[in-house]
């Protein structure tokens, strides 16, 4: 599309085809996304890049056009899984796929199959995304520039809140929202939700499991002013979550069986976080948790949470002052106390 347009523009200046200045002008306009500068001076099928895109978008039905304009929500080079659109539009999977297939045929969207999930993922070209964001700006009122964009992000957050009943630790694992929730909260200006979400230990656990500590720490740094606030307790809890993620976040990443509550309980260094974990543990009497009692804070070192084993043993945890005893969690749910010497001889025989 861009090549065809520039080719037609050069037809207006045949003597300047080899003019480096004109090529530099077009290149600079493209790199800085000033597409309105790349415009023909006489009638032509597509006078500008936006006109070419608009021709395809305007050919859609009003309903499909509204769906397409929703892509202004997203960022450059970010793939959108089908489940995200299901939630945003309140549609079934196959309804979404039919709509997207129509966009694909019109070259408005690119489609791929997720390599490990049983769903499609979609992407939009940066030119088309810029066109949609430009249309949003044009739709905003003079009194509130960006109001249309804000409402669009508000609608996405609202749809996810309905999906998880405002319990953000129960957000669906759709390979998107845990990565970009902070972005949409900020864009929607719903900054009051930041502490409710990012100071929630259970949400932190899911964020660590699905995105890893680096992604969580990036969000904490980026949105610190909204999460930590100005109160001493919130700031202290924020600092503890940040330190906790740096210290043991890697243990939770990708591990569904590692319990974030248990991790916090056995880390006395983070007192507020440990207290939150204790409250959660007490509210779940059907689950078994161990608490580290009488730990020496001066000599405390981070213990590994568990060692995953094969066969009948599920996990192992060393206990006792001498470190020669450990608890063994078995696949049938039972817990046994073992001695290092005994299990060592058995492992040699095995």
Q: What is the DSSP string of 233-280?
A: HHHHHHHHHHHHHHHHHHHHTT-TTS-HHHHHHT-TT-HHHHHHHHHH
Task: Find the mean pLDDT for residues 262-266.
Answer: 91
Edge-to-edge strand ranges of the sheet holding 325-330: 313-319, 325-330, 335-339
Please tell me the predicted confidence (pLDDT) of residue 306: 45
Residue 213 falls inside a structural domain: yes
Query: What's the average model confidence in pLDDT over 28-36?
Result: 58
Q: Are 63 and 57 in contact (CB under 8 A)?
A: no
**Phi, psi of 314, deg, nearest 5:** -95, -45
Helix 271-282 vs helix 232-252: crossing angle, to nearest 10? 70
pLDDT at 224 over 50: yes
Same domain, 129 and 225: no
Q: Is residue 231 part of a domain?
A: yes
Q: Over 70: is that where the pLDDT of 310 sits?
A: no
- Within a domain: 230: yes
Q: Are residues 41 and 162 in the same domain?
A: no
- 208 plus 98 within the same structural domain: no
If asked whether residues 279 and 209 sit together in one domain, one would say: yes
Q: Do 252 and 230 have their domain in common?
A: yes
46-55, 195-204, 221-230: range with lowest mean pLDDT: 46-55
Q: Mapped to the 3 state alphabet, what secondary structure does 51-105 carry?
A: HHHHHHHHCCCHHHHHHHHHHHHCCCCCCEEHHHHHHHHCCCHHHHHHHHHHHHH
Q: Are 122 and 80 in contact (CB under 8 A)?
A: yes
Instruction: Specify whether 184 is located in the same domain as 273.
Output: no
Domain assignment present for 300:
no
Is the per-residue pLDDT at 326 higher than 50?
yes
Alpha-carbon distance of 173 to 84, in angstroms, equals: 10
Domain boundary residue among 138, 170, 190?
190
| pLDDT value at 130 more than 50 | yes
In angstroms, the Cα distances linking 346 to 176, 212, 236, 316, 350 are: 46, 37, 47, 15, 6
Give the number of other CB atoms < 10 A from CB of residue 271.
13
So what's the pLDDT on residue 120? 96
The Cβ-side half-sphere exposure at 331, using a 13 Å CA radius, reads: 6
Is 296 part of a structural domain of the chain? no
Does residue 307 belong to any structural domain of this protein? no
Would you state the pLDDT for residue 235?
A: 96
Mean pLDDT across 10-16: 60
Q: Are residues 94 and 183 in the same domain?
A: yes
In a domain, 77, yes or no: yes
Give the three-state DSSP class for 108: coil
Q: Which two tokens stand for residue 291?
A: 């608490």
Averaged pLDDT score across all residues of the chain: 82
Do residues 326 and 316 lie in contact, with contact meaning Cβ atoms separated by under 8 Å? yes
Same domain? For 202 and 241 the reply is yes
| pLDDT value for 33 | 54
Measured distance CA(53)–CA(176) in Å, rounded: 27
Among 156-160, 194-198, 238-242, 258-262, the minimum mean pLDDT is found in: 258-262
Confidence of residue 2 (pLDDT cuts 50, 70, 90): low
CATH code where residue 140 lies: 1.10.10.10
Residue 290: band (very low, low, confident or very high) from pLDDT cuts 50, 70, 90: confident
Domain assignment present for 128:
yes
Question: What's the pLDDT at 348?
Answer: 31
Phi, then psi, of 158 in degrees rounded to 5: -60, -40
- What total of structural domains would you count in the chain? 4
- Both 69 and 24 in a single domain? no
Range of the domain at 333: 313-349
Same domain, 82 and 184: yes
The pLDDT of 295-303, averaged and rounded, is: 50
Confidence at residue 343, expressed as pLDDT on a 0 to 100 scale: 38
> What crossing angle do the helices spanning 213-222 and 201-211 adopt, rounded to 10°?
120
Closest CA to 244 of 255, 254, 232, 236: 236
Q: Between 2 and 108, where is the model more confident?
A: 108
CA nearest to 135, candidates 122, 111, 152, 158:
152
Helices 62-69 and 126-139: crossing angle, nearest 10°? 100
DSSP symbol at 308 = -
Burial zone of 257 (CB within 10 Å; 0-12 exposed, 13-18 middle, 19+ buried)? exposed
Tokens encoding 273? 């976080």
| pLDDT score of 346 | 35
Task: State mean pLDDT over 184-189.
Answer: 96
Mean pLDDT of 30-51: 54
**Each residue's pLDDT tens digit, 94-125:** 999 999 999 999 889 999 999 889 899 999 98
Residues 64 and 169 occupy one common structural domain: yes
The SS3 call for residue 304 is: coil
Of the two residues 9 and 205, the one the predictor is more confident about is 205
Together in a domain, 74 and 39: no
């Amino acid at each position: 599309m861009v090549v065809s347009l520039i080719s037609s523009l050069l037809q207006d200046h045949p003597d300047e085809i080899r003019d480096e200045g004109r090529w530099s002008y077009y290149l600079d306009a493209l790199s800085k996304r000033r597409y309105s500068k790349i415009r023909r001076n006489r009638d032509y099928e597509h006078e500008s890049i936006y006109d070419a895109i608009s021709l395809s978008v305007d050919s859609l039905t009003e309903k499909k056009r509204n769906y397409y304009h929703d892509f202004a929500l997203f960022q450059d080079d970010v793939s959108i899984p089908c489940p995200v659109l299901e939630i945003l539009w309140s549609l079934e999977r196959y309804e979404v796929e039919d709509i997207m297939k129509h966009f694909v045929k019109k070259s408005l969207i690119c489609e791929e199959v997720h390599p490990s999930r049983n769903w499609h993922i979609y992407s939009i070209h940066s030119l088309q995304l810029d066109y949609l964001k430009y249309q949003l700006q044009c739709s905003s009122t003079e009194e509130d520039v960006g109001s249309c964009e804000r409402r669009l992000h508000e609608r996405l957050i609202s749809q996810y809140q309905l999906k998880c009943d405002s319990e953000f630790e129960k957000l669906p694992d759709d390979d998107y929202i845990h990565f970009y929730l902070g972005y949409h909260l900020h864009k929607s200006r719903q900054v009051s939700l930041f502490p409710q979400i990012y100071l929630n230990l259970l949400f932190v656990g899911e964020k660590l499991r699905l995105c890893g500590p680096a992604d969580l720490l990036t969000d904490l740094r980026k949105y610190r002013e909204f999460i930590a606030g100005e109160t001493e307790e919130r700031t202290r809890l924020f600092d503890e979550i940040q330190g906790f993620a740096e210290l043991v976040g890697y243990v939770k990443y990708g591990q569904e069986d590692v319990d974030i509550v248990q991790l916090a309980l056995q880390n006395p260094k983070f007192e507020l976080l440990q207290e939150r974990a204790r409250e959660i543990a007490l509210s779940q009497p059907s689950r078994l948790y161990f608490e580290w009692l009488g730990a020496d804070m001066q000599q405390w070192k981070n213990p590994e949470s568990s060692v995953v084993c094969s066969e009948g043993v599920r996990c192992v945890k060393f206990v006792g002052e001498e470190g020669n005893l450990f608890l063994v969690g078995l696949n049938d749910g039972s817990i046994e106390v073992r001695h290092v010497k005994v299990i060592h001889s058995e492992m040699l025989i095995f």
